[in-house]
Amino acid sequence: MEKVYEGKTKTVYALPNGNCLLKFKDDVTGENGKFDPGANTVGLSIEGIGKENLKTSIHFFEKINAAGIKTHYVSADVDDATMEVLKATPFGHGLEVICRYRAVGSFFRRYGEYIKEGAELPGGFVEMTFKNDDLGDPIVSKDALAILQVMNEEQYEKVKAMTLAITKIVADDLKEKGLDLYDIKFEYGYNGENVILIDEIASGNMRVYKDGKYVEPMDLTAMILGS
């Protein structure tokens, strides 16, 4: 198998059938030895976390595929910590699509003059940012994405609608476990004409609360997997 990309937490290989194989590592992002899913540097290694994140991703990808929403997920081999996915071209060099149900985090820091911390955002709110630590992950609007030729207007509307639908699937699943989704981030790419959900869906991608208290990613994984 040809290695096509070495990421921070995953290695990507090309498969003979034209798909890709993602190998989940035990490296996690963080800083100064502390696990931080939002960080852009590898902070430490946690034994078994690659497989835990893979299992969480399988859990959600299967629900999303079953709902008829296109993702890159094909199949997985948990023992091998690998996931077979459709080949996809990501939008830009690290475009994150965030869906927010509550005004927390950077949304509240930016717009606190206009909304209370933790206020509900009815129906969900979608925004996109470019991953760029030095610039504090700048927000990029629909019109900016079009003029920068990263994503056209039709693709934007498609990604927004998919994001609202996928977030509802995740939130409904968490709700059954007594958990409240506050926000979640995704990545998308295109495979031919199709816009598809790519990357992973693990506890580090979302901010979840239980009875008004933030749930740490490691605890959240256990709750999602019922382990």
Residue 170 and residue 4: Cα distance in Å, rounded?
A: 30
Is 83 within 8 Å of 76 (Cβ atoms)? Answer: yes
DSSP letter assigned to residue 115: S
Residue 179 and residue 214: Cα distance in Å, rounded?
A: 10
Tell me the closest approach of the beta carbon of residue 171 to a copy of itself, in angstroms.
17
Residue 118 vs 138, nearer CB to a copy of itself: 138
Site for a copy of itself in 90-119 (CB under 8 A): 92-93, 109-111, 113-115
What 3-state DSSP class applies to 202? Answer: coil
The interface mask with a copy of itself, positions 114-153, x = CB under 8 A, is xx-----xx--xxx--x-x--x--xxxxxxx--xxxx---
Residue 84 vs 137, nearer CB to a copy of itself: 137
Is 41 within 8 Å of 30 (Cβ atoms)? Answer: yes
Tell me the closest approach of the beta carbon of residue 188 to a copy of itself, in angstroms.
17
Is 166 within 8 Å of 186 (Cβ atoms)? Answer: yes
Residue 113 vs 176, nearer CB to a copy of itself: 113
**Size of the residue set binding a copy of itself (CB under 8 A):** 27
Residue 187 and residue 114: Cα distance in Å, rounded?
A: 28
The site for a copy of itself (CB under 8 A) is made up of 92-93, 109-111, 113-115, 121-122, 125-127, 130, 132, 135, 138-144, 147-150
